Amino acid sequence: MKVLTTLMKTLVITGLLSPLGRRMARLTASMGVRVLGIDIKPLTKPFPGVEFVQTDIRNPLLAELFKTEKVDTILHCAFRWRQRHVEEIFDSNVLGTIRLLGAAETAGVRKIILPSSTFVYGAVAGNPAFLGEDSDFKGRPHDAYVRELREIETFVNGFRHQQSQMVITVLRFANLLGGGLTSPLARYLSLPAAPTLLGFEPMLQVLHHDDALRVLGHCLQHDCDGVFNIAAAQPLPLYQLLALAGVPPMMILHPLAYQGLQMGRMFSHRIDALVPIPWDFLRYSWGADTRRMVRCLHFTPIDAKTTVQQWGQTLRQHRRQNSRLTQAATECWQDIVTMNQKCRATHQESSRRLARAVAELRGRGSATAVKA
């Protein structure tokens, strides 16, 4: 396993406009690295320090672009997280990664870094306490992002054996929290009440988004060939994690949970928003062994409790701010309604006074005519 210090010349970041891509582009550009950003979306405002190319990672001309720009390192942040299978997103995630690696091989790119997830291990009853990087993928995942990450890693593993001269780093991140990253766990903890399975309490690992940036930066500066689990020390029991985040649990019988989700998906896509993490991952533990991270990368993330507490504080502040804005808007609307009612009452009173005055004038006019 190679861990060597290298000097990076030109860095390509795919998925530049993703939260992770944006932050890594700012970080590396501030270090004086030439950054070439690629995204299928248009750049709506200038991105200082980044040369932008709007294209798809499946573009067959990517190899020529890499050759022309003398790219030596690629950070692949273009993975799109979706629970349901969408053919276009599958093509972008899986086939896009395959074509990106092919373009890198053709252009002679020296290093590629791929963020992945510990979701690939699967959550089954027979899992050991900690899963090493060489552990098999288990279970049959129902969510598209788990299946697609597995397919990508399976291809990368075969590609690595064919390209022994290329440094390929795969970082399997635990549940990311913070920094505006919409990870499955972040969406789960954003629910008013988090659904849990009655009688089950798996151990969960987390990772602060700042640590994700730090370890990516380390791997850009050094050659860290291989697969690494990246997670904070000390996994947390599910209910302790919910308590630290300030999210109340909502316990459900597990047969009803599985059947309800399956039936709900037949009628509406919105049911996925209520269960952003597959039930199996809320039933069984799927902790990752991080000894290789410590030994080879010399990396120690922020502890899990601090990460969850900070995320919970941010969430509560956000909710209070939204609550204040909602209350202010409601009060403003009530003021408008009250003013409108007062204006209407004043207008009605003025109309009545005018009607009485007109009636009096008409009465006086009639009396004068009679006298005449």
CB atoms within 10 A of CB 207: 27
Reported pTM: 0.82
Q: How far apart are CA 270 and CA 264, in angstroms?
A: 9
- Up-side HSE of residue 111: CA atoms within 13 Å toward CB? 26
Which pair of tokens denotes residue 29?
């550009």
Indicate if the alpha-carbon torsion angle 39, 41, 42, 47 is positive or negative.
Answer: negative
Position 348 pLDDT exceeds 80: no
Q: How far apart are CA 212 and CA 77, in angstroms?
A: 12
CB atoms within 10 A of CB 203: 17
**Where along the chain do its domains lie?**
3-181+204-233+287-313
Position 325 pLDDT exceeds 50: no
Percent of the chain exceeding pLDDT 90 equals: 66
pLDDT of residue 85: 83
Q: How far apart are CA 55 and CA 100, in angstroms?
A: 12
SS3 12: strand
Least confident of 112-116, 176-180, 258-262, 357-361: 357-361
pLDDT of residue 86: 86
SS3 218: helix
Closest CA to 40 of 97, 78, 68: 78
- Confidence label for 351 from pLDDT (cuts 50, 70 and 90): low
When the pLDDT of each residue in the chain is averaged and rounded to a whole number, the result is 86
Superfamily of domain 3-181+204-233+287-313: NAD(P)-binding Rossmann-like Domain (3.40.50.720)
The one-letter code for the residue type at 65 is L
Least confident of 112-116, 119-123, 174-178, 337-341: 337-341
Q: How far apart are CA 141 and CA 162, in angstroms?
A: 28
Q: How far apart are CA 241 and CA 185, in angstroms?
A: 11
pLDDT of residue 281: 95
Closest CA to 43 of 20, 19, 16, 24: 16
User: What single DSSP character describes residue 252?
Assistant: E
Contact status, residue 284 vs residue 123, Cβ threshold 8 Å = yes
- Confidence label for 294 from pLDDT (cuts 50, 70 and 90): very high
Position 33 pLDDT exceeds 80: yes
More confident residue, 182 or 265: 182
Long-range CB contacts (within 8 A, 24+) of 353-356: none
